[in-house]
A and B are shown apart, each in its own frame.
Chain A
């Protein structure tokens, strides 16, 4: 056949040694796949772009506190561990180390549960071990789930120690977390992701960027949606990242979960949390120290935000940009030095966008600069809101304020506004692409956040004006003026079901 191409004859996956489910040490895999291993190792190198990368100083130093650039972060996180220590992310090689040293998680502090390991360590052997002990006759999947729950009930450091005992040494994300050791096919392992996707598929939230979910929905639904069974190869190239780069809840006393029951949009996630009850109260992450309002915390919703962008819609996966193919001889290998695409524009972008490197960089910068200016504006609005709420609170004693927050409709409304405004702002700020993954959607969320913050400020001023001595009569002021517009934080969500 004259069309036959001169392919590299040798099998790219000629295995020199066998690897298995318990091989969390990447060095062993590196014997078979040295190119990928080389890239993987390099995630320990510091890199920097205008807004991304890991802006670290000399060897051994930590990335800067996020609040150094965005001081308003300290205000919105008042009373929460993120006000204490919250740094820029950096390469995968550091994930376990950074979790061990963060002040959010001090040994003996009993602040965190084993949940945290879900995304910072090659943790599956621990889940399997504990699951097998608890459910010796369960299916592997049942055992993993049970193991997950067991780890959730442990103190972080106990779980960490047990993992170390099982695997010899605890490792950050490793080959086995994304690859089936038998076939090297991509696969997802993390139970919270599997459960989250099951619930997302079962919902009716539109996910045009995930064709296999839409396909599953049209089918018999006899078995729940399973990324490893139903996902397309292109989807898997994002799913492996979606195991960790997502919004989650993993507070003590609960098993980690991804809140996708109603969809992946910020409002849909908010609705999921708002619909949850913990000890007879509406779900909260913490109580804001300055205002006493029960608020939510958003973490790195890259997968969710990517889902709202035009790239996802066009079938472009995380790995297309963050692990682009590179050429080694006649072979194409995936760059396993996972990092900012702006450090590798020709491969990451120019295969699809045939422009020069400088031009592509400028395009991203235009998006990011616009975004950053808006983010800062939203942060300032949030600070103004907090100042105003604090001023209102001054007129109450502690018990009076608690009561007002629960029973006085006007004060209550202030709390709702803060919760909604802060959720949107945090959701955008915690996302790591500085606007790039979905520029218009993120600008919309910031606009809403600004509006809600300012409305809270206005509400606070009205309250101050109306009841000059609120402390004296905190419960009196309880008829909401009919002129008050409804909060409608979810209007967009409802318009586009």
Chain B
């Protein structure tokens, strides 16, 4: 089991969801986060001064999938979240030891 943790632009969420649905992947948990990357956010010039907006709103998507699907999920997210501009986000892959469905108690290891 792996957890794919993707931090993406909020406006790309629908695209990512669609792309995953095509693959039959529905389960996910999302949350609103703020983030900055290596660029330290966005710099705005004004009247000579510079203002840095360092924390930009992002959406974090957590998807727990079997080891074999992880690569596919990452690929689909990457494609759907991509715009090519700074701030497109990151995808992390974390190991998951157990996954239990509360309703059924069903477990996947």
A and B form one complex = no
